[in-house]
Copies of this chain bind each other. A is one copy, B any other.
Amino acid sequence: MKLKEIYHFLNELSPFELQEKWDNSGLLVGNFEDEIEKVYISIDLDEEILESMDENSLVITHHPLIFSPLRRVNYDTYSSKLLKILIQKNIALISMHTNIDKTHLNRFVAKEILGLDLIESDEYICYANVDEEFDSFATKIARSLGLEYLKYVKCNQRVKKVALVTGAGMSLIDEVNADCFLTGDIKYHDAMEAKARGISLIDIRHYESEKHFSPLLEGLLEEYLKKNKLKAIITASKNPFKFCIQGETVE
């Protein structure tokens, strides 16, 4: 199957032109005329996962491998190291990042993974009414995402309205219209800002809130690939973080 045929299907599913200006979604490695024999789906790439893939295949990731354009390819950075393996194994790479965030991913995680009843959603932010004690709500969220350990900022005893952005959404704080915000990669100054504004935060983590990209896309692609006698193989780059308490690994 030609790479460009899958690309066009994906583009109809979630148009690449919806991506943000700073993003780099689309066909990052490989040529539209390449013949594809296998399709892999993963939130990201790492060396291990690439080793396990067959040559002449296509991998679809959520995060673009290349963000800063490359002036040199020295195999000593995340991008250039993995680019080398992709090219040597002739594996093509398509990334679906902010386009699928907007069209599917945020809402999928909010509804299917966290079980929230959405009342509205804009480009990135999903909203749900909650009206529950903060502690029990936070515990429920942690359980849904499989987080043993939870980091949060608690401004109010009760959560009334919650906002959600998967991945790292703190740059959207000015637009959040809720008393509790769920997102990942929350930094210290973000937390100070939210606390001053009276907005509670629950860190749903970047990897753990976005790894659902793979089953989501697999479901969306299944029928189409079957017709073309291909199968999407869900795989997963590893979460680079480990967590321990007093020396005991908890995650």
Where the two chains meet, the residues of A that have a C-beta atom closer than 8 Å to any C-beta of B are 24, 26-32, 44, 46-47, 63, 66, 68-78, 81-84, 87-88, 90, 135, 138-139, 142, 148-154, 168, 184-185, 187-189, 191-197, 205-207, 237, 240-247, 250
Contacts of A205 in B (CB 8 A): 188
> Measured between C-beta atoms, what is the minimum distance from A70 to chain B in Å?
5
Q: How far is the CB of A247 from chain B (nearest CB, A)?
A: 4
Are A30 and B74 interface neighbours, CB within 8 A?
yes
Residues of B within 8 A of A82 (CB): 196
Which of chain B's residues have a CB closer than 8 A to the CB of A71? Answer: 24, 28, 66, 69-70
Interface pair B77/A70, CB less than 8 Å apart? no
A77-B193, A78-B197, A184-B188 given; 9 more Cβ-contact pairs under 8 Å: A24-B71, A29-B72, A29-B73, A30-B75, A73-B83, A76-B197, A82-B196, A149-B243, A191-B240
A139 touches B247 (CB 8 A): yes
The DSSP consensus for interface residues of chain A is mixed
Query: A16 to chain B: closest CB distance in Å?
Result: 12
**4 smallest A-B Cβ distances: which pairs?**
A69-B69, A188-B206, A191-B240, A78-B196
User: How near does chain B come to A31, taking the closest CB pair, in angstroms?
Assistant: 4
A135 touches B242 (CB 8 A): no
How many angstroms between the C-alpha atoms of A185 and B87 in the bound complex?
33
| Residues of the B chain whose Cβ atoms lie less than 8 Å from the Cβ of A69 | 68-71
- Expressed in whole angstroms, the Cα–Cα distance for A2 and B44 within the complex equals 32
